[in-house]
Structure 1
Amino acid sequence: MALAAATKSFMLLGQCVPCIKQGASKFKVKRLELNTNLNMFFPKHEFVYAHDPEKKCKSGDLVIIERLPKRLTRLITHRVREVLYPFGDITDPITGKKVVSGNYRDHLEEISKLYGEKGSTFKYDEAPDRGWQENKKDFTHLETYIKYHEDGTNDPRAV
């Protein structure tokens, strides 16, 4: 029943999670469910598959997905409309400023100037874009697969 509520919505905001399906991505959608005994809403996560043949989104991205007029398969009911925030690059939607752990980046720069920069502050403007460490430390672009047996090897791409 909960999945039926997610598939009836026209547009959803979801976070991309690892997926093994070809031409599709899996998204974690947060919904609020009413507990009638306490008369309070509690978060509940549902998973939705969306058509993404170009693999525009990587794990951790916040994405807007919209319902397809007709299902592609039994599982794929939505399509990726837009990648709002790439993983690790959060922007405040009201002001349009970049945010780091609850603080604006420009506020952090002003505070570091007030106390005198000692070389320990991170330069966000000079940092390379996400994805520059592909095949070095970032393996989110590689295809994931299900580990069916335990042979003692540790593969980070296995789900």
Structure 2
Amino acid sequence: MGKVIRLSNIGLKRIPCVQVRCRRNEFNVYLKKYFARPFDYWALDADSKTNLGDVVLIHRIDRTQRPTTVVMHQVERIVFKYGNIIDPITKKRVIQDEFSDEIELKQRLVREDALLFEERRAIQKERLTARMSAVKKSR
């Protein structure tokens, strides 16, 4: 699994390919610890559905299916589209740090509160005019 960093076409047949950056753990024998290191792989993109920044799943292909010696993988599927952020656990869309339905709920509550404020203000204005007219009559 990795992120698409470059789109390209190869050969005279213009076969669509993508360059995918995968993070793999590399063991340091002296420190006896794994460190994440990026590796770049070229992969065939038969459907041409990937865009820059997409997270894709790639798998190795046979030597007979390789168009060149450099392209050794094929895009199996798109895991996450770039810009369409969906929480994998709740399956809800995320905008910055909040879920989209929570944002819509807040907006709806603010609109309702604004309407209630206007209604309360109208009621207060009616009471005030009633009191003012009562005071004028008593004079």
Query: Shorter-normalised TM-score: what interval?
Result: 0.5 to 0.7
Number of equivalences: 104
User: What is the alpha-carbon distance in structure 2 between the residues aligned to residue 60 and residue 31 of structure 1?
Assistant: 18
Alignment of 1:1-159 (within 5 A): 13-22=1-10, 23=15, 24-70=17-63, 72=66, 73-114=68-109, 116=110
Identity across matched positions, percent: 27
- Cα 1:30–1:112 shift into 2, 3 Å: farther
Q: CA deviation at 1:30?
A: 1.4
For residue 51 of structure 1, what is the amino acid of its counterpart?
L
For residue 100 of structure 2, what is the amino acid of its counterpart?
R
Q: Which has the larger radius of gyration?
A: 2
Give the number of the structure whose residues are more often strand, by fraction: 2
In structure 2, the residue corresponding to 1:59 is in which secondary structure? Answer: coil
Runs of at least 5 residues in structure 2 that lack an aligned partner in the other structure: 112-139
- Cα 1:113–1:18 shift into 2, 3 Å: same
User: What is the alpha-carbon distance in structure 1 between the residues aligned to residue 96 and residue 35 of structure 2?
Assistant: 24
Instruction: Tell me, yes or no, if the aligned pair for 1:25 and 1:55 is still in contact at 8 Å.
Output: no
In structure 2, the residue corresponding to 1:109 is in which secondary structure? Answer: helix
User: What is the alpha-carbon distance in structure 1 between the residues aligned to residue 87 and residue 42 of structure 2?
Assistant: 27
Q: CA deviation at 1:38?
A: 4.7
Instruction: Tell me, yes or no, if the aligned pair for 1:67 and 1:78 is still in contact at 8 Å.
Output: yes
Aligned structure 1 segments of 4 or more residues deviating by more than 6 angstroms? none
In structure 2, the residue corresponding to 1:78 is in which secondary structure? Answer: strand
Instruction: Tell me, yes or no, if the aligned pair for 1:63 and 1:83 is still in contact at 8 Å.
Output: yes
TM-score scaled by length of structure 2: 0.62
User: What is the alpha-carbon distance in structure 1 between the residues aligned to residue 59 and residue 87 of structure 2?
Assistant: 22
For residue 87 of structure 1, what is the amino acid of its counterpart?
Y
Instruction: Tell me, yes or no, if the aligned pair for 2:7 and 2:51 is still in contact at 8 Å.
Output: no
- Cα 1:40–1:107 shift into 2, 3 Å: farther
Runs of at least 5 residues in structure 1 that lack an aligned partner in the other structure: 1-12, 118-159
Q: CA deviation at 1:18?
A: 1.8
Aligned-residue RMSD, C-alpha? 2.3
